[in-house]
Amino acid sequence: MGEVILTMKDIDKSFPGVHALDHVNFEVKRGEVHALMGENGAGKSTLMKVLTGIYQKDSGTITYKGKETEFHNTREAQDAGVVIVHQELNMIGDLTVAQNIFIGREPKKGIRVDDKKMIEDSKKLFQDLNIEIDPREKMSNLTVGKQQMCEIAKAISHKAEVIIFDEPSAALTEKEIADLFEIIKDLRKKGLGIVYISHRMDEIKVITDRVTVMRDGGYVGTLITAESSKEDIINMMVGRVIYEDPKEHSMVAPDAPVVLKVEHLNAGKMVQDVSFELHKGEILGFSGLMGAGRTETARALFGADPKQSGTISIMDKSGQLREVTINSPQDAVKYGIGYLSEDRRRYGVVVQKSVTENTTLATMEEFCNGLFINKSKEKKVTEKYVKELATKTPTTDQLVVNLSGGNQQKVVIAKWLTRDSEILIFDEPTRGIDVGAKNEIYKLMSKLAAEGKSIIMISSEMTEILRMSDRIIIMCEGKVTGNIDISEATQERIMDKATRNIE
Q: Which helix (H) or strand (E) holds 9?
A: strand 4-15
Identify whether the C-beta of residue 482 lies closer than 8 Å to the C-beta of residue 473.
yes
pTM of the shown model: 0.60
Fill in the amino acid letter for 152.
I
Fill in the amino acid letter for 7.
T
Q: What is the pLDDT of residue 189?
A: 92
Q: Is 234 helix (H, G, I), strand (E, B) or coil?
A: helix
Residue 335 to residues 164, 301, 366, Cα–Cα distance (Å): 45, 11, 17
Q: In the 8-state DSSP scheme, what is residue 294? A: H
Nearest-angstrom CA–CA distance, 429 and 406? 9
Identify whether the C-beta of residue 198 lies closer than 8 Å to the C-beta of residue 23.
no
Identify whether the C-beta of residue 248 lies closer than 8 Å to the C-beta of residue 468.
no
Local confidence pLDDT in tens for the 503 residues of the chain: 789 999 999 999 998 777 889 999 999 999 999 999 887 678 888 999 999 999 999 999 999 999 999 999 988 998 899 998 876 567 788 889 899 888 888 888 888 888 898 999 899 888 877 778 888 989 888 877 778 788 888 888 878 899 998 877 766 667 778 888 888 898 899 899 999 998 777 788 889 999 999 988 899 999 999 999 888 887 887 775 555 678 889 999 999 999 999 999 999 889 999 999 999 999 999 998 767 899 999 999 999 999 999 999 999 989 999 999 999 999 999 999 999 886 666 667 888 899 999 999 888 888 888 788 888 899 999 999 898 888 889 999 999 988 877 788 889 888 888 887 899 999 988 876 767 778 888 888 999 999 999 999 999 888 889 999 999 999 988 999 999 999 999 888 888 888 775 43
> CA Rg, the chain, in Å?
24
Backbone angles phi, psi at 270, to 5 degrees: -90, -5
Q: In the 8-state DSSP scheme, what is residue 403? A: S
Q: Is 77 helix (H, G, I), strand (E, B) or coil?
A: helix
Residue 287 to residues 5, 113, 168, 284, 486, Cα–Cα distance (Å): 43, 48, 22, 10, 12
Nearest-angstrom CA–CA distance, 128 and 131? 8
Q: Please work out, in degrees rounded to the nearest 5, the angle formed at the alpha carbon of residue 218 by the alpha carbons of 215 and 221.
A: 75
